[in-house]
Amino acid sequence: MTNQTFRWGIFGTGAISAKFVAGLAHARGAEVAFVASRTLESAQRFVAGVGCGRPVAGYAQAAAMGGVDAIYIATPPALHAEHALACIAAGIPVLIEKPMATSAHEARRIAEAARARSVFAMEAMWTRFLPAAQALREVVQSRRCGDIRMVSGDFGLSQRPEPRNGMFDPSMGGGALAHLGAYPLSLGQWLFGDPQEVQALGTIGATGVDETVAIQCRYAGDVLGSFHCSLRSWSDDRFLVSGTEASVGFHGSIVRPYGVRVAVEGTRGYDEARFGWRDRLRQNALVHRLAQRLDRSGRSRARHQPHHYAGNGYHYEVDEVRACLERGDTESKTMPLNDSIAVAATADKVRAALFASRA
């Protein structure tokens, strides 16, 4: 497979599938063999729009047809388990768009089936594979931030709850937690493991899905996580890890960061007897006016380290799938199935808290 074309099948014809196909242009030797949808007309429209692949009607038929090296599943979350299990039963490796499943139970079913048949399976949490995310993790693991105390992240956008928008359809696995909260929860789990304690508040809209969610997590070592996601309000889409010596955060969106920002401050002591020139300078009104005029935000010692991604960034997870298959790995070390199960279990706890408070 090393020098051969890697053939992808696509399940689903939504916007995320179009982004995935566009990302293949930067992947190593990748091409679209077919695009499957519920109807032939939908598949034909998508193929005409992206200019590649063969349209196929029906997901079961596409899985049975085979002829591909892997299938990317980007159907609504409520269908992920059904479609992934059909592909795995046919012996076809799968890359499953986040969230991998709508519950930990479904995520375990996918993992168990893949492991039983030694078929590769991975959740498409593409942000983990971006250069900036890898750089942030290296900063955290190198202990440049000292002892980590806090991690925070949010992802929000404002949409009208229209019936045709699957994000607001509970039968299709909609909700802010599934579509947006998966990012901070997965990044937190990647850096600090499974949370030991989870608390949540949120609002359930008229459509029956969680529209805005606030999550608190406690990880090992008393690392506290604070995450927010919303389908009805805009946010800064940020991600930040804070420690005793420094903080490190994404430069750019939590979804597609293109750098990291490291602010080294150190641990400060308090000495009542000292009031040096730096302290006097900080009280000077001229200094404050100058700072506002220069519009410097954040810590003074912050340094931006660029880590740009190529294309639209989707090809990094694509290349990971191919690299794993070439090595004979049935799971990715960066996005292992146990991580996906753990994030789904956390999401289960959050939903239980939200709907319990509503009762």
Query: Domain locations in the chain?
Result: 6-127+313-333, 131-308
Report the range of poorest mean pLDDT among 139-153, 155-169, 258-272: 258-272
Dist. CA 344–CA 159, nearest whole Å:
24
Please report, to the nearest 10 degrees, the dihedral formed by the alpha carbons of residues 296, 301, 307, 308 taken in order: 10
Residue type, 251: H
- What superfamily does domain 6-127+313-333 belong to in CATH? NAD(P)-binding Rossmann-like Domain (3.40.50.720)
SS3 142: coil
Position 296 pLDDT exceeds 70: no
Average pLDDT, the chain: 93
Instruction: Give the separation between CA 268 and CA 21, rounded to whole angstroms.
Output: 50
Residue 292: the pLDDT is: 63
What confidence category does residue 274 fall into, taking pLDDT thresholds of 50, 70 and 90? low
Instruction: Read off φ and ψ for residue 60, nearest 5 degrees.
Output: -65, -40
Helix, strand, coil shares of the chain as percentages rounded to 5?
40, 25, 35
Q: Which residues of 186-196 are buried (b: 16+ CB within 10 A; e: fewer)?
A: bbbbbbbebbe
- What tokens were used for 194? 């499974």
pTM: 0.92
- pLDDT tens across 205-247, in order? 999 999 999 999 999 999 999 999 999 999 999 999 999 999 9
**With bands split at pLDDT 50, 70 and 90, how would you rate the model's confidence at 266?**
confident
Stretch 328-336: mean pLDDT: 98
State how far the alpha carbon of 121 is from the alpha carbons of 9, 54, 109, 331, 335, in Å.
14, 23, 12, 6, 10
Q: What digits encode the pLDDT tens for the residues 65-111?
A: 999 999 999 999 999 999 999 999 999 999 999 999 999 999 999 99
Instruction: Assess whether pLDDT exceeds 60 at residue 160.
Output: yes
Maximum CA extent, the chain = 79
Residue 252 pLDDT exceeds 60: yes
Q: How confident is the model at residue 302 (pLDDT cuts 50, 70, 90)?
A: confident
Residue found under tokens 């150190």:
266
pLDDT of residue 298 exceeding 90, the answer is no
Give the separation between CA 284 and CA 62, rounded to whole angstroms: 71
pLDDT tens figures, 175-210: 999 999 999 999 999 999 999 999 999 999 999 999
- Is the pLDDT confidence value at 357 over 80? no
Query: What type of residue is 181?
Result: G
What SS3 class is residue 37? Answer: strand
The two three-digit tokens of residue 125, written as one number: 């949490």
d(C-alpha 307, C-alpha 313), whole Å = 12
pLDDT of residue 271 exceeding 90, the answer is no
At 355, is the pLDDT very low, low, confident or very high (cuts 50, 70, 90)? confident
* Residues ≥6 apart with Cβ < 8 Å to 93: 69, 70, 71, 87, 119, 120, 121, 321, 325
pLDDT at 277 over 70: no
**Fold exhibited by the domain 131-308:** Dihydrodipicolinate Reductase; domain 2 (3.30.360)
How large a percentage of the chain has pLDDT more than 90?
85
Please state the rounded mean pLDDT for residues 337-356. Answer: 96
Encode pLDDT of 14-61 as tens digits. Answer: 999 999 999 999 999 999 999 999 999 999 999 999 999 999 999 999
> Residue 358: which of 213, 253, 173, 153 has the closest Cα?
213
